[in-house]
Structure 1
Amino acid sequence: MPTRSEVDPLDVPRPILPSLYILIRDEDGGFRFRLVGTRLAEIFGRDVTGKRLEEVLRDGALTNALRSYDTIIKMGKPSHSRALYFPASGEDPFLYQRLTLPLGTQAQTTHLLGALLLQREDLPYVTYADVEAREVVTISDRVETMLA
């Protein structure tokens, strides 16, 4: 697995950069956003850089994210998921896809690099295929439903 220093978010194709995030694990086992793209700030309604996951997500969304991120760290393998997100604000739910990649050493995952692609009527939907015509690596597809 690559280390965090080997991955520069600026090397990511420009249209995907606003959808990127990097999480670090705090000493107490929680997660904190180290980097948050502008697209995610739109989704959350604010810049959540430096915020703990518990400050950003609630209820089923938080439980789902913690379970997923804990599994990625434990297994040291990428994860792809599709889910329905129910915003705490009461807005209409929307579908999203999340790709999360572990970064660190063979012995320890130190960071999680993720990208969130969503489908909402008020925000344009971008897929990786739209960004660049490259061979797509399929990671096991897991459908999750988040309950608010």
Structure 2
Amino acid sequence: MRVQTTIEIFDYWNRIRGAADAPLKSQVEPSAVPHLLQSLFILETRDGGDIVFRLAGTRICDFFGRDLRGERFSSLWAHGQHADIERTAMGVMDHAMPALFNTTGYSTVGHQASFEIIMMPLRSSDGACDRLLGAIAPTAPASWLEIVPLEFLALDRSRLLPEKFSKAMPAELRSINEVVAAKGIGFGQAMRRMVSQLLSAEAR
């Protein structure tokens, strides 16, 4: 992690979980991290297995130019990555292991920006991990993000946090993590080439 927002929310999640693998959702106190709220989101599973936004901070909604509440998390991503993103989010909940995504966001007019996205499991009172606490933050300032909405995100890399979890990671989650990372790298490179070609064609 290299973005202050993701570092701070991960540290907060670690503090409130204590010795548990994931904290209770009732332990999350917005007043403890007021300066991060605009960049935070909470995902939940719905009947049928859809993973949707229960809450999304104002800055995240501004990035995409719409209110994301109730929208599927996979809808933010490039079409070829929907299934992998949902499998990874479900794996974070099933195995109570946080994950970090490095992504590239693309606008409709060819702008690009890099983001860090962190997802951390939350437990209900019955002990089940059925929600995710997360944050989306750009890795560097980009003035156009306040004006031009993102069209989609493309995954460049994903990994589990902290590193000690990876050694004991279940085989099925390890394979998902590796496949998503591999597909993300290739897809991100392809999208960058495509956007570059489109902009070159328009310039001619």
TM range (shorter): 0.7 to 0.9
In the alignment, structure 1 residue 139 sits paired with structure 2 residue 162: yes
Q: Is the contact made by 1:81 and 1:98 (CA closer than 8 Å) also made in structure 2?
A: yes
In the alignment, structure 1 residue 29 sits paired with structure 2 residue 49: yes
Give the structure with higher Rg (CA).
Answer: 2
In the alignment, structure 1 residue 101 sits paired with structure 2 residue 120: yes
Closer, same or farther: CA 65–86 of 1 in aligned 2, 3 Å? farther
Name 1:6's counterpart in structure 2: 27
Partner SS for 1:40: helix
Return the structure number with greater helix share: 2
Name 1:44's counterpart in structure 2: 64
TM-score (norm 1): 0.73
TM-score (norm 2): 0.55
Q: Distance in 2 between matches of 1:104 and 1:50?
A: 20
Name 2:3's counterpart in structure 1: none
Q: Distance in 1 between matches of 2:117 and 2:88?
A: 10
Q: Distance in 1 between matches of 2:85 and 2:29?
A: 24
Partner SS for 1:42: helix
Q: Distance in 2 between matches of 1:67 and 1:90?
A: 30
Q: CA deviation at 1:86?
A: 3.2
Q: CA deviation at 1:9?
A: 2.6
Unmatched tracts of structure 1, length 5 or more = 125-137
Q: Is the contact made by 2:98 and 2:119 (CA closer than 8 Å) also made in structure 1?
A: yes
Q: Is the contact made by 1:23 and 1:34 (CA closer than 8 Å) also made in structure 2?
A: yes
Q: Distance in 1 between matches of 2:81 and 2:106?
A: 8
Q: How many residues align?
A: 133
Equivalent residues in 2 for 1:56-135, closer than 5 Å: 56-87=76-107, 89-104=108-123, 107-118=127-138, 119=140, 121-122=142-143, 123=145
Partner SS for 1:73: helix
Partner SS for 1:69: helix
Unmatched tracts of structure 2, length 5 or more = 1-21, 147-160, 164-176, 192-204
